[in-house]
Amino acid sequence: MILIGELSLWVALLMAAWSTTVSFAGGATRRADLTDSGVRGLYATFAMIVLASIGLWTALLTKDFSREYVAGHISSTMPSVYIFTAFWSGQAGSLLFWSLILSMYGTVAIATSRRRNAELTPWATGTISAILLFFVATTCFKANPFTRLDFIPLDGRGMNPQLQNPGMAIHPPNLYLGYVATAIPFAFAIAALFSRRLDAEWLGIVRRWTLLSWFFLTIGIVLGMWWAYVELGWGGYWAWDPVENASFLPWLTNTAFLHSIMIQEKRGMLRKWNVVLVVMSFLLAIFGTTMTRSGVIESVHSFAQSPVGPWFLTFFALSAGVTIYLVATRLRDLEAKAELESMVSREAAFLYNNLLLVGIAFAIFWGTVFPVLSEWVTQNKITVGPPFFNAVNVPLGLLLLALTGIGPLIAWRKASVSNLKRQFATPTSVGLITGALLFALGMRAPNVLVAYILCGFVMGTIVQEFYKGMRARQTIHGESVVTAFNHLVARNRRRYGGYIVHAGIVMLFAAFAGLAFKSENDVTLKTGEAYETSDPYGHKWRFVSQGVSTSEPRDAQVIGVGLDTYRDGKRVGVIRSEKRAYHDAQGNPLFNPITAVGIRTTPALDTYVTLAGVRDANTAELRITFNPLVVWVWTGGFVMMIGGLIVMWPQAERRRAQAGYVAVMPPATAGVPVGT
């Protein structure tokens, strides 16, 4: 099976090359037979990559240590679930995984859209195949997971224990699913540019796949934050690491697209801009991969670096060049069908939203590449760390949060003054009351107060929208509260699912703002000694060391400390943190020792204990951090996921037949309030 997999990979390479060639030829000559052959070539590539993947999984699960990839990424003592996930934990495997997802997506996308989009099919198939060709070629020539070793080692190297975590098992595949999904809208954007056709069908496909990409990127990013928080032990979940930034960039442009696409659907405007956003998301996804693979920018994520960097850089430059050429030469085919009518309208709000999302993306991109730029220009090595990203992004982020609340309150086309007054009254009051309450409770930091006022305002908007919708249903259909809520969401999945996503965003912002009150305590404790401090809410905490303990499970040496913890005099339990040093079956040390963090979570705050080291058998050095509101990051992420699922739910598809419909009407006279 392993051998079949190895050979299939090479067949996939040939298939992808074939499919690329004949698809583009089919598009250029309008010959249906060539297009058909290209499409079948894509399906065959998918089948071959599935075989290759089965081959690699077989090699891993049968522990065939004669393969370099297997010996380098698993060991005989590892739990089998992580042997399975080792498929994507290294360079070569993750490249194959990319190809697997891309060929699967490509097959599904082409198979489902083929009949309705005969003109786009050859170009889209060709583009998907070309991207596949690149990935399979890189896998074959530069990072082949089937490469054999000259000798057969007794045992493999195993997986970094920090990666042996349930979050880490599913975080990378989610990110890959998100990254790769940007390739489908990209392929259809290229197809639209080649065939000069950009209509409602196109919109439907591109929107669906962008949503999918957004959905998986959201899950991937939040899981990554969670993993960093519980596993790395530095007390935070976002460090503006280049690779974190790389996953965030396509998320931002995807989000921008999902908003501006609504203007194109409703009003036929922003067609050029939407194509640019689709292309940007894909290029940023490739840029992210390039960065992690090339080693150009240093990062803790450089778990797997190898000489595929130049290949990725070339591919990135090539795809950027081709797209810029296509967009530049075909701009006139994408003229708007209507014009904006007012600076105070839903359309304008979406434009500002796009400005901020893309602005944030630019700021992050800029900060990420600036060290490289600076070194080229001034030979001066510098670091662009969290202080920079926070300073630049906090104002933009707050503006964006404000728009999250403002946008849904403004009518399409043109909002009237009375309309604005009526819509804004409640949300604004909620925001101001929130601010006044917090001020009365002693909160003084202006940035944070503004953040919470805006959180209140946006929540007010969301609740008001739900309330109005439900009231209308109750009055018209005489439904109960629960039925009205269910029907409201079910009949307008996109709108109300979107509001639920917004609610998740508010939770995230509330949690981010809470970090301003984080407090860190550097503590040295002998057995029986107590440390007393108070948390940001003013509660008194007392930590008593239970002493340093050591143990030796099968594959590691463990040093741990337990803290008897009291809050306001009441015992709340033991918080325990450990250091673990892993070794292989022969007792040779593997990897750097890792920290197991002790976390006590409540909705108000996390008590986060890290064992920094031990001085002697009795004395432990610890860091005790109070992290307010962290649990709301995960909750917010989960709520966003639910909202995303509601928006994506297939039943919403039927109504999209009307997408792209543009009403040509005289301007509204008195700002008739119209819904989405």
Partner 1 sequence: MTDEMAKSVSRRAFLAGAGAGFGSMVVAARAVAQQQNPRATHDSSLVRDTTNFGVMDMAVKPVRLPPKPNAVKQLTNAQRDALEHQLHCQCGGCTLDVFTCRTTDFTCQVSPAMHRDVMGLVEGGYSAQEIIDAFVASYGERVLMAPTRSGFNILAWVSPGIAVLAAGAFILAFLKRSQSAKTAPLGPAAKGVDATDDELARLEAAIRRDRE
Give the shortest CB-176-to-partner 1 separation in angstroms. Answer: 19
CB of 63 to partner 1, least distance (A): 15
DSSP sequence for 129-195: HHHHHHHHHHHHHT--TTPBPSS--SS-----GGG-SHHHHHHHHHHHHHHHHTHHHHHHHHHHHHH
How far is Cα 209 from Cα 201, in angstroms, rounded to an integer?
13
CB of 299 to partner 1, least distance (A): 7
Rg (alpha carbons) of the chain, rounded to whole number: 27
Smallest distance, Å, CB 518 to partner 1?
Answer: 11
Q: How far is the CB of 221 from partner 1 (least distance, A)?
A: 17
Looking at the Cβ atoms of 109 and 239, the one nearer to partner 1 is 239
Cβ contacts of 463 within 8 Å, gap of 6 or more: 430
Percent of the chain as helix, strand, coil, to the nearest 5: 65, 15, 25
In angstroms, what is the minimal distance from the CB of 329 to partner 1?
6
Adjacency order of strands within the sheet including 570-583: 530-534, 540-551, 556-567, 570-583, 589-596
> In this complex, which beta carbon is closest to partner 1, that of residue 160 or of residue 426?
160
What tokens does 1 get?
A: 């099976």
Contact by Cβ (8 Å): 580, 161: yes
Q: Which is nearer to partner 1, 310 or 528 (CB)?
A: 310
**Minimal distance, residue 39 CB to partner 1, in Å:** 29
* CB closer to partner 1, 329 vs 534: 329
State the alpha helices, DSSP H only, in 1-31: 2-29
Q: How far is the CB of 67 from partner 1 (least distance, A)?
A: 12
609 closest CA partner among 656, 560, 657: 560
Amino acid letter, residue 21: T
Residue 75 or 125 having the CB closest to partner 1: 75
Nearer Cβ to partner 1 (16/279) = 279
Measured from the CB atom, is 108 or 317 closer to partner 1? Answer: 317
| 292 DSSP 8-state letter | H
The answer to whether 614 and 559 are in contact (CB under 8 A) is yes
Min dist CB 589 to partner 1, Å, is 6
Q: Structure tokens of 667?
A: 């301007």
CA dihedral 264, 267, 269, 273 (to 10 degrees): -20
Please state, in angstroms and rounded to a whole number, the distance separating the CA atoms of residues 289 and 300.
14
Q: How many CB atoms lie within 10 A of CB 339?
A: 9
Minimum CB separation from partner 1 for residue 532, in Å?
17
**Burial state string for 443-468 with b = 16 or more CB within 10 A and e = fewer than 16:** beeeebbbbbbbbbbbbbbbebbbee
Q: Between 112 and 329, whose beta carbon lies closer to partner 1?
A: 329
Q: Looking at beta carbons only, is 33 or 375 nearer to partner 1? A: 375
Beta bridge partners of residue 565, listed in sequence order: 543, 573
Q: Which is nearer to partner 1, 306 or 428 (CB)?
A: 306
